Amino acid sequence: MESDSEAELRCYSADLHIHSCLSPCADLTMSPARIVKKARVRKLDMIAICDHNSAENVAATKKIGEKENIKVFPGMEVTSSEEVHIIALFDDIDGVIKLQEIVYEHLTPGENKEELFGEQIIVNEFDEVDGYCNRLLIGATTLSLETVVDEIHDLGGLAIASHIDRESYSIIGQLGFVPENLRLDAMEISQHMNKTQIIERFPEIKKFPLVCASDAHFLDDIGKATTQFLLEKPTIVEIRKAFNNEEGRTIVMEAGT
């Protein structure tokens, strides 16, 4: 029997932060089928749907991805009570749905105002509109940053600090520092800053794996920022090993390199 150390590894190209038309700030063309189609054009192996405080378009996108041989990780971009964005990534739908239940229980009360924030469209695998989410997804939850990270881990997911080079809704932009005992798995930077620049500005982050993702809100942005992983297969377990440089799994091309 082949051991993990002898497993055949290959390079996977990933964009692990993509919004669908469920996010009020995303373009209405960001439907599940169009997202997967653009991911194929950009030759991506793995993508993640990470809408704001909701995962109601994940299942449809995952079904299309399975047909098109593109791994779609169920994800969510959770807003903590400190207004810090944290990406949650899971292997299966169950994890993200349980997280959604927790987030919905602690979401800012009120209904979405489409004229102010945009539509929050729920779409099926055939790109048909199934309905609209009326919750205030653009708002923050009452969950602390530490609680958000702990809940993600308790459900078996990965917790990644979103776009840390941005002033708004980033852990450094909101807090000015990274809490010492916060159990983040990685940090995300955008295509606008490289690894050297970000570490020069914030030396404390060098202990974390850095990934790059598009944070796409428009179709043309999908795949403009990616991370290359050396893995046996496209799973959260394998990505976690890559973050920890275990058993040959690694980030082949780090953010900004």
Q: Is residue 204 part of a domain?
A: yes
Residue whose structure tokens are 């960001």: 30
- Which DSSP symbol is given to 80? P
The C-alpha atoms of residue 241 and residue 238 are separated, in whole angstroms, by 5
Q: Is residue 4 part of a domain?
A: no
CATH number at residue 151: 3.20.20.140
Q: Is residue 172 part of a domain?
A: yes
pTM, rounded to two decimals? 0.94
Residue 108 amino acid letter = T
Q: Number of H helices and number of E strands within the chain?
A: 8, 11
Tokens of 167: 């002033």
Give tens-digit pLDDT for 60-98: 999 999 999 999 999 999 999 999 999 999 999 999 999
The C-alpha atoms of residue 252 and residue 229 are separated, in whole angstroms, by 5
Give tens-digit pLDDT for 15-69: 999 999 999 999 999 999 999 999 999 999 999 999 999 999 999 999 999 999 9
Give the residue with greater pLDDT, 254 vs 167: 167
The C-alpha atoms of residue 41 and residue 29 are separated, in whole angstroms, by 16
Average the pLDDT over each of 147-156, 169-178, 229-238 and give the range with the smallest value: 169-178
What φ, ψ does residue 174 adopt, rounded to 5°? -85, -40
Q: Is residue 85 part of a domain?
A: yes
Q: Is residue 32 part of a domain?
A: yes
Torsion, Cα of 201, 169, 37, 136 (10° steps): 180
DSSP H/E element including 75: strand 71-79
What does the pLDDT read at residue 6? 61
Which structural domain range is residue 161 located in?
9-253
Give tens-digit pLDDT for 193-234: 777 888 888 888 889 999 999 999 999 999 999 999 999 999
The C-alpha atoms of residue 150 and residue 6 are separated, in whole angstroms, by 33
Within the chain, where are the H helices?
32-41, 58-68, 93-105, 114-117, 145-154, 171-175, 195-201, 236-243
DSSP for 90-130 reads -SSHHHHHHHHHHHHHTBPSSB--HHHH---EEE-TTS-EE
Q: How many domains does the chain have?
A: 1
What does the pLDDT read at residue 192? 77
Q: What is the average pLDDT value for the chain, to the nearest integer?
A: 94
Q: Is residue 170 part of a domain?
A: yes
